[in-house]
Chain A
């Protein structure tokens, strides 16, 4: 079996239901940031706490691209998903036959291998229609 590696180290955490995304919450103004930030772009505070993001969110917008990108083979879907914490996460989306994308639909996080590099399976994240 191919070795599995996370494509980034600093954006995942282990939750009760498996690996989930890690965000920053500003202790001063409460804004939530994914990916994490060095300071709060809203109030410039450096007092940030790490918070896990819920697995569930709603689809803010989406597109399906018909030319391959650096790692993803065409056709592939992308979108922004809003989590209850207030993060708007850009992510690949899983295309499910009987669940066409619709803005506002419920989505669920999947942390899984999305591409291969040098024989290794690269684990990233995507959202799938719930």
Chain B
């Protein structure tokens, strides 16, 4: 397998922009990624695009705006893990030598979907969805269980949102660049008890893109060689009987695999970007990624370890909670953020001297599965 590098990243402004079409949003990110790489779009050999909902020939409709036709273009969907799935597909093409340089783009216009403003749920025919299972509802069930078994308080859950909104103030592309107090988070409208409105990621329009290539190509364009030390993608385990929804077995397995691929452990990470669609979710990932044990997760959370300036900053970008969550874009966006962090180009939210970063995404609720898809990537410089 060949080494794979990121040489260009781009991101549109994240926010509520129903007047912008999907190709418009996507082209903002792609244009920035090409400029960042210093690469002529005509040199791209393969493209993957992800759009979570109602996607159709997304790659072609964006990349034709850059004069790109003829090459292999593939459109993928994997719920909230779709963006990292596009990255993973491109990684495989380059690692196995099929292509030398390509682009992964993720995009979503959430405000123009038929589901805009509703609680997201699984497919209409899904048994649990018919009986009221929604995304915030699932995390409400998990959070309640975490409170019971780990002793988390409502304040502990809300803290994640306070932290990530504080980080988001430092990110000029975040939808909400506004600090929130603990009281504001706790006193906002209840959505799925114990999760309040300000502990839910907003529905957001946006796009992100990453140009990836072999070492030979990367060396022509940059001296800041941001490398994929690990790339993983997996499917959730069956969820029946005695399954514990507060422990994601697929994520624990993927984390172990990623650490093995990279030859590191969780203690070697400098920065993490992960799927914080709802505040309790971020806490569960601390455990699944091995940052702490279930026994000491409360102490770990309360120590402030995951804040900027802490031992292992999590979501310095502001995360989905303050940046917003365009479903298909977020998985590519986390790769963009880590790349900026490792290059030392993350501005006010820079984690000093970051050398190793982990990106995690999770997606899809379906009766009988703990989750549909999970993906973990590790980048190093």
Contacts and interface: CB of A to CB of B under 8 A. Distances in A.
A55 interface: no
A23 to B, nearest CB: 10
A65 B238 contact: no
B145 A69 contact: no
User: Which of B128, B137, B190, B367 is most buried by chain A, counting CB atoms within 10 A of its CB?
Assistant: B137
B142 A66 contact: no
Contacts of B192: 63-66
B137 A86 contact: no
Contacts of B128: 90
A91 interface: yes
Contacts, number: 103
Interface in B297-337: none
Given A35-B367, A78-B141, A88-B241, A70 B121 contact: yes
B368 interface: yes
Nearest to A11: B127
Interface residues of B, number: 36
A86 B242 contact: yes
Contact of A91 (B124, B131, B148): B131
Contacts of A109: none
B193 A63 contact: yes
B381 interface: no
Interface in B183-217: 189-195
Given A8-B127, A35-B367, A70-B130, A62 B240 contact: no
Contacts of B132: 65, 69, 71-72, 76, 78, 92
Contacts of B189: 66
Contacts of A1: none
A101 B132 CA distance: 17
A91 to B, nearest CB: 6
Interface string A18-61: 00000000000001111101000110000000000000000011
Given A33-B240, A78-B131, A65 B141 contact: no
Nearest to A125: B131
Contacts of B134: 65, 67, 69
A79 B121 contact: no
A115 to B, nearest CB: 9
Contact of B242 (A65, A67, A71, A88): A88
Given A63-B193, A71-B131, A87-B240, 10 more contacts: A41-B240, A65-B134, A65-B136, A66-B189, A67-B119, A67-B134, A67-B191, A70-B121, A78-B133, A124-B131
Interface of A: 7-8, 31-35, 37, 41-42, 60-67, 69-72, 76, 78-80, 86-88, 90-92, 103, 124
Interface of B: 118-119, 121, 124, 127-134, 136-137, 140-145, 148, 189-195, 238, 240-243, 245, 367-368
20 contacts: A7-B130, A8-B127, A31-B241, A34-B240, A35-B367, A61-B144, A61-B148, A63-B192, A65-B134, A66-B189, A66-B193, A69-B119, A69-B121, A71-B131, A87-B240, A88-B242, A90-B131, A91-B131, A103-B144, A103-B148
